[in-house]
Amino acid sequence: MDDLAVRTEPAADADAAALRSAGLKVTRGRLAALRLLQRMPHSDAETIHRHAVTDEPTLSVQSMHNVLTDLTRAGLLRRIEPERSAALYERRVGDNHHHVVCRACGKVADVDCVVGHAPCLAPSDAGGFAIDTAEVVFWGLCADCR
């Protein structure tokens, strides 16, 4: 039984610990979201839910939205919103990496800091704004689509 649990959910304990240390209760829906985003980053709420229901048939789409919002607020997930697409979620948080989106198929990939130094962040305050974050999205064609 331990064998089974370990085999199917190797990172479940780590996920549970992460939830607890964020002050959130460990629930099946939250574990499912974390587990699925491990294997398929840059997924939207509907996709995550579709895969989650095979394990948790009672999980509603609204609950999944709820879970994702909570986990994002808790800093366990990062939410990105490419133009013309639904919000996507990923587990990589804390580093300021960027994303590249395929114009043709919509596929998203991570892009680490592309210029040698801090990524495109202007420390100067442009037009009186006190800038704290730079958000960069690259657009192009993925290997499959060109």
Partner DNA sequence: ACGTTATTCGTAATCACTCAAAACACCCGA
Partner DNA sequence: TCGGGTGTTTTGAGTGATTACGAATAACGT
Helix axes 28-39, 12-21, angle to 10 degrees: 120
* Of residues 54, 91, 34, 70, the one with CA closest to residue 62: 70
Considering only residues 36 through 75, tell me which ones interact with DNA, judged by CB under 7 A.
44-46, 56, 58-63, 65-67, 69-70
Binding positions? 102, 105, 142, 145
User: From CA 78, how far away is CA 108, in angstroms rounded?
Assistant: 14
Binding positions for Zn(2+)? 102, 105, 142, 145
Does 29 engage in binding with DNA (CB under 7 A)? yes
What are the residues facing 78 on neighbouring strands?
90
Find the shortest distance in angstroms from Cβ 5 to DNA: 15
Cβ–Cβ contacts within 10 Å for residue 103, how many? 12
Find the shortest distance in angstroms from Cβ 48 to its own copies: 19
By beta-carbon proximity to its own copies, the closer residue of 46 and 81 is: 81
Residue 45 touches which member of its own copies, DNA, none, C-beta under 5-8 Å by kind: DNA
